Amino acid sequence: MPLTNAYRDFLCQATVGQTVTPFNSANAYLGVGDGTAAFAVTQTDLQGTNKVRKPMDAGYPTLSGNQITFRATFGGADANFAWNEWGVFNAATGGVMLNRKVESLGTKASGSTWVLTVTITLTV
């Protein structure tokens, strides 16, 4: 899965010691939306009309070797629409979007709780 240009720039800034907001338990969010526009590396947010970001569940994100796992829970009143896209962010609003994936995950109904888990493997 390709990363965004914003995340590429984030990695460059972190590499040379510039201050960046990490994708850690205090700052990482998973976002879902109803957008269906194709992914483009220049995007900085989800593309749908309806979109919601949720913070990490306790203990997330995790790191194992070159795999990072993010997990967030969307409760009964959260994100009740068709989940057609998702992304990883380092802020509740704005911030850096690490990636965006366009795929239909179904339509979440009011009252249901869904857990979204994203595992990203970085390779060269």
- Residue range 66-80, pLDDT digits in tens: 999 999 999 999 999
Angle made by CA atoms 13, 91, 60, in degrees to the nearest 5: 95
**Count of C-beta atoms within a 10 Å radius of residue 104:** 11
Does the pLDDT value for residue 1 go beyond 80?
no
**Count of C-beta atoms within a 10 Å radius of residue 37:** 13
d(CA 64, CA 18): 25
pTM of the model: 0.95
- Span 28-52, pLDDT tens digits: 999 999 999 999 999 999 999 999 9
